[in-house]
Amino acid sequence: MALFITYASYSQAGIKALMSKPEDRTAAINALVQKAGGRVVAMYNTTGANDVVLVSEAPDGTDAVALAMAVSASGVVAKAETVRAWTGAEFVEVVEKAAALTGAYAPPGG
């Protein structure tokens, strides 16, 4: 399974809901990720630009993005961004593919 990192920020409605009933949302997120066939690797509440950082494994990118969309659709999340994460060894493969494609792209105006 692929590894993904999701950054999320609560909406005003989400903050109000948490303040009215403070709770650890890890179990709810874990259940959702499992329903999509994945697993939570780690979940943190953070300060700054994002309120939540979720590290998860999912069968593919469509599952990871669908999870963020489903939570966003509830109205409690104002912003969610999901990115693919690679280990150092996995990223070597990405760089090797890029190296093999170097020179194959014709930029506009060229």
On whether the CB atoms of residues 59 and 17 are closer than 8 A, the answer is no
Which amino acid type is present at position 97? Answer: K
Separation CA 34–CA 7 (nearest Å) = 18
Separation CA 98–CA 54 (nearest Å) = 28
Predicted pLDDT of residue 104: 86
Predicted pLDDT of residue 61: 87
Domain ranges of the chain: 2-101
DSSP per residue over 33-53, as a string? HHHTT-EEEEEEE-SSS-SEE
Separation CA 5–CA 85 (nearest Å) = 7
Give the class (CATH, top level) of 2-101.
Answer: alpha beta
CA-based nearest residue to 25, from 2, 4, 51: 51
> For 15-38, how does the pLDDT look when each residue is reduced to its tens digit (9 = 90+)?
999 999 999 999 999 999 999 999
Q: Please state whether the predicted TM-score (pTM) of the whole model is above 0.95.
A: no
Q: Where residue 45 falls among pLDDT bands split at 50, 70, 90?
A: very high
> For 89-105, how does the pLDDT look when each residue is reduced to its tens digit (9 = 90+)?
999 999 999 999 988 88
